[in-house]
Amino acid sequence: MQLGTRRRRRSSEPGPAGGADYLSALPEDLLLLVLARLGCAAAAARTGLLSRRWRGLWARLRDLSFRGLAFPSLQAALGRVSRPPPAVSLLEIHVPSQNWPEDGPAAGAVTSLLRAAALLAPEKLVFTFPLDSHLSYAGVDLPCFHRATSIVLEWIPFVLAGGEYPALQTLSIRGCEVDDLGALLSLCPHLRALRLIWLGGDDDRTTVHSTSLQELVMEAMWARRVDIVAPMLKQLTVSLHAYEQASISILAPMVEKVSWQCLYQNRTIWFGLWCLEKLSLQTAEAQEQLPSLHIHACSVCGLSWSIYWNSRLN
């Protein structure tokens, strides 16, 4: 009887418009589902203005997305999230360009934010900066995310591997410069999919050595040396800009699907009067199709010449 009386009293509390607040009377699990539908942690936090019952409830969400929250406020927001268990399933941090310091935040502040994120032990992490962040090129340490199976990093100029990633299966890096990609991959013993887009580096060298990798995507890459050793690799997608002395080495005996496109800049490779501009290779998408090799060249007279060759691989 007492329990029933409490429920009736709670459900009859006045809402924002003076009526009964039946929504706040719902079980907490249902309220969390409502907040999760908002898709934004900041929006979920603002529901605390509706009723005392909603205040702080957003900090228990297992899927957290921070969009539009100013960089100085992000670490404080992460500190309010309930620590595991249960652990966070998804943590998305999209740093906005508004209210951005002229020279960008210090690398140490970014590292500190990543460490605060690591304390929440997310299963999936998305961490993106604005394209024009002007972040200093001092090293940003990527701490250990021991539960993370997927990590996405975008537009962090200089990344240093700062821990191990024993559960990581998918890694996507866009617009970043990684201090030592080979060292980072060695800390990911179960990595299965790797995506590299606009990856920078001082020596224009890309080294991918992994005994577990099954899918590799490299797009919009400038490379002088490419070294890939992946005995379990099944799918390879490459789009790169090559220099004159480009050295490309691939050891992937299990590969099944290949999409390769190499652009040669500044007319660096010549065959008599012809200059190599583009080389592409595509394996068959279906059993009845043939693999193809496409060579595109131009002459000093401005003429274009292409060869499109289909052949069955023995």
Residues 204-218 pLDDT 10s: 788 999 999 999 999
Residue 273 maps to a domain: no
Q: How far apart are CA 93 and CA 194, in angstroms?
A: 20
Q: Which residue range forms the structural domain that includes residue 245?
A: 29-262
Residue 141 maps to a domain: yes
Q: Do 150 and 169 contact (CB within 8 A), yes or no? A: yes
According to the model, what pLDDT value does residue 286 have?
72
Number of domains into which the chain is organized: 1
Q: How far apart are CA 72 and CA 113, in angstroms?
A: 10
DSSP 254-275: T--EEEEEEEEGGG--EETTEE
Residue 85 maps to a domain: yes
Q: Which ranges of the chain have pLDDT less than 70?
A: 1-24, 49, 85, 98-105, 132-138, 200-203, 244, 266-268, 287-288, 300-314
Q: How far apart are CA 168 and CA 149, in angstroms?
A: 4
Residue 83 maps to a domain: yes
Amino acid letter, 228: I
Closest listed residue to residue 199, CA positions, set 185, 214, 179, 215: 179
Closest listed residue to residue 151, CA positions, set 183, 195, 109: 195
Residue 236 maps to a domain: yes
According to the model, what pLDDT value does residue 69 have?
85
Is pTM beyond 0.85? Reply is no
According to the model, what pLDDT value does residue 12 have?
45
Residue 121 maps to a domain: yes
Q: Do 149 and 167 contact (CB within 8 A), yes or no? A: yes
Q: How far apart are CA 93 and CA 83, in angstroms?
A: 17
Residue 8 maps to a domain: no
Q: Which two tokens stand for residue 1?
A: 């009887």
Residue 128 maps to a domain: yes
Helices (H), ranges, the chain = 2-11, 28-38, 41-46, 71-79, 107-119, 181-186
